[in-house]
């Protein structure tokens, strides 16, 4: 494997740009190839088989382009495809992510944390495993909330819109009223909603995501395999000073952007999110989807799990930490059998979340 080759970064859409930004900060000498499967967005309401098939197709495309490693910058794809990818590409470093329950459980002062994720991520076994390992032993109450409308809002460039804020009020008010002081952003699209969350809830929640931890883990994996890119030679010519990049804007041009859908539409959204003009190209990815590609989970209902409790809230900031042992290469326990927890992916969303709530109560007892 060539250490000068790019790192492949994959998401269902533009959400993975939040992880890519952390990767570029942590690994400034690396090149990246970003692939967004916008033709099949969103993943969060798809069947388990579809998610695995689409994830493998994207990985094969990036592998074929000579990427030296893969970062699955999508919680849903990680939940259902990570173990499958590591079995399919045993010699290829693959780093994924799971909702950051650990730091939320360790840092809560009220004893109540919220997890906002896609329907597919919520029904996956990895979230329940994280709750059982980190929240339940500490007596931390976990509240879950989801809506299939959040990802499309970000993809349309409406993360700061009145519609986004109204939806977030609906989803997060029960968590705030129950005293949750930590909010796990369990989808890589959701950091782009942080401004709207702050406007609606001020400092009620500490927002926790896995982007920085994934970047640090990627650096460790590459170092262990001798795949870190050589450091750039310092220039002997004095360079004019320039302001530090803000938000997700970064000075390095070492990224190629590809989408499976409309490049022009994606370019406009990326310009808005990144604060810089990028070139977006079309990628022809053979997903080889059968009949199951048309299957969707019921996606018209917004759901929040609530419990009758109130807690004192704590002050908050925006944090990410080296929280998840599960993001390491060779992650144990991600079987890819997302329905091993006994949840029916075709069930009504309200019924699914009610069953998830019961499972969480059983775990926390």
The catalytically annotated residue of 33, 67, 187, 303 is 187
Rounded Cα–Cα distance for residues 210 and 223 (Å)? 20
Token output for 207: 């927002």
118 is in an annotated binding site: no
44 is in an annotated binding site: yes
Write out the DSSP string of 63-91: HHTT-SEEEE--HHHHHHHHHHHHHHSTT
Count of CB atoms within 10 A of residue 319's CB? 16
Rounded Cα–Cα distance for residues 18 and 15 (Å)? 6
Rounded Cα–Cα distance for residues 140 and 156 (Å)? 35
Residue the block writes with tokens 């702050």: 198
Count of CB atoms within 10 A of residue 228's CB? 17
43 is in an annotated binding site: yes
40 is in an annotated binding site: no
318 is in an annotated binding site: no
Residue the block writes with tokens 């006994």: 342
Tell whether omega for the bond before 42 is within 30 degrees of 0, i.e. cis: yes
Q: What sections of 260-310 are H helices per DSSP?
A: 263-274
Q: What is the 8-class DSSP label of residue 29?
A: T
Count of CB atoms within 10 A of residue 93's CB? 21
63 is in an annotated binding site: no
Decide if 303 is catalytic.
no
Decide if 74 is catalytic.
yes
Q: Which residues contact 253 (CB under 8 A, 6 or more apart)?
A: none
* Residue-level length of the chain: 365
76 is in an annotated binding site: yes
189 is in an annotated binding site: yes
Over its C-alpha atoms, the chain yields an Rg (Å, rounded) of 20
Active site residues: 74, 187
Q: Which residues are annotated as a binding site for substrate?
A: 11-12, 43-44, 75-76, 188-189
């Amino acid at each position: 494997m060539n250490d000068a080759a790019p790192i492949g970064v994959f998401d269902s859409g533009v959400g993975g740009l939040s992880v890519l930004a952390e990767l570029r900060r942590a690994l400034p000498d690396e090149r990246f190839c970003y692939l967004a499967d916008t033709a099949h967005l969103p993943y969060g309401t798809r069947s388990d088989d579809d998610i695995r098939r689409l994830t493998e197709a994207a990985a094969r495309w990036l592998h074929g382009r000579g990427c030296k490693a893969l970062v699955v910058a999508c919680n849903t794809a990680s939940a259902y495809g990570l173990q499958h990818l590591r079995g399919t590409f045993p010699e290829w470093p693959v780093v994924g992510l799971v909702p950051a329950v650990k730091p939320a459980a360790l840092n809560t002062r009220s004893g109540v944390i919220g997890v906002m994720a896609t329907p597919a991520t919520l029904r996956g076994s990895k979230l329940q495993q994280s709750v059982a390992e980190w929240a339940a032993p500490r007596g931390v109450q976990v509240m879950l909330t989801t809506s299939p409308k959040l990802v499309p809002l970000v993809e349309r460039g409406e993360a700061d819109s009145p519609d986004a804020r109204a939806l977030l009020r609906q989803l997060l008010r029960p968590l705030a009223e129950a005293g949750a002081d930590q909010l796990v952003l369990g989808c890589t699209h959701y950091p782009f909603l942080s401004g709207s969350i702050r406007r609606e809830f001020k400092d009620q929640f500490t927002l926790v995501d896995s982007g920085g931890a994934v970047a640090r883990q990627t650096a460790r994996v590459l170092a262990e395999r001798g795949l870190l890119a050589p450091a750039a030679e310092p220039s002997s010519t004095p360079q004019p000073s320039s302001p530090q990049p803000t938000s997700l804007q970064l000075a390095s041009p070492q990224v190629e952007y590809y989408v499976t859908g409309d490049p022009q539409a994606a370019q406009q959204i990326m310009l808005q999110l990144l604060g810089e003009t990028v070139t977006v190209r079309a990628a022809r990815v053979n997903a080889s989807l059968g009949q199951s590609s048309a299957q969707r989970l019921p996606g018209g209902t917004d759901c929040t799990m609530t419990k009758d409790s109130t807690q004192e809230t704590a002050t908050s900031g925006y944090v990410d930490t080296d929280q998840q042992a599960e993001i390491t290469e060779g992650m144990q326990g991600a079987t890819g059998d997302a329905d091993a927890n006994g949840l029916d992916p075709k069930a009504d969303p309200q019924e699914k979340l009610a069953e998830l709530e019961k499972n969480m109560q059983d775990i926390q007892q």
